[in-house]
Amino acid sequence: MNPETPSSESMPESENPSVEVNVQNVEATPSEFQVSSTEAYTVQLRQVWAQITGFLEKMPSYVGNFFASYQRSLVTLGLLLAVLVTLRLTVALLAAIHSLPLIAPTLQLIGIGYTAWFVYHYLLTAESRKELSKDLQTLKQQVLGRGT
């Protein structure tokens, strides 16, 4: 035994810590446990239901605040989705047209003819290139709203 620490025998009775434990023998029947667990379940169910209804009551304000905070981002996201859907539909439409007999070669022939006409009309001479440049400047001013 360490000489620095006094033994519990040498300590006075008032300094010894004491713990008092009362044990009662409770005999409960299974039906009593069932009733208490059912009551606890209904209380818990009511609490959960109160939380759900409280959240649903505040839902319109949550949604309104969300849209107010992120309005610009949501509009941009909506436009991007609209562009993606439009591109997807365009590709599907072109694939359907391409699968029809004689339509695809006819459209290719029309495209080649228009390209040849455009090159001949606008790109062969310097004068026609100036005319094309002038037409493009006019179109740019009309689209941007800077001209008359």
pLDDT at residue 98, rounded to an integer = 82
Q: Which two tokens stand for residue 39?
A: 């009551």
H helices present in the chain, as ranges: 30-69, 71-99, 103-118, 126-144
Instruction: State the chain's maximal CA–CA distance in angstroms.
Output: 121
Task: Say which residue, 11 or 62, is predicted with more confidence.
Answer: 62
DSSP letters, 57-70, are: HHHHHHHHHHHHHS
pLDDT at residue 34, rounded to an integer = 55
Task: Answer whether 124's CB lies under 8 Å from 118's CB.
Answer: no
Task: Answer whether 133's CB lies under 8 Å from 125's CB.
Answer: no
pLDDT at residue 125, rounded to an integer = 92
**Residue-wise pLDDT tens digits, 78-135:** 999 999 999 999 999 989 988 889 988 898 999 999 999 999 999 999 999 999 999 9
pLDDT at residue 14, rounded to an integer = 54
Task: Answer whether 72's CB lies under 8 Å from 66's CB.
Answer: no
SS3 at position 113: helix
C-alpha–C-alpha distance, residues 28 and 118, integer Å: 98
Q: If you average pLDDT over residues 130-146, what whole number do you get?
A: 91
Q: Where are the domains of the chain?
A: 101-143
Q: pTM for the full model? A: 0.40
Q: Which two tokens stand for residue 88?
A: 């997807």
Q: Which two tokens stand for residue 77?
A: 């996201």
**Residue-wise pLDDT tens digits, 9-34:** 555 555 666 666 666 665 655 555 55
C-alpha–C-alpha distance, residues 68 and 80, integer Å: 20
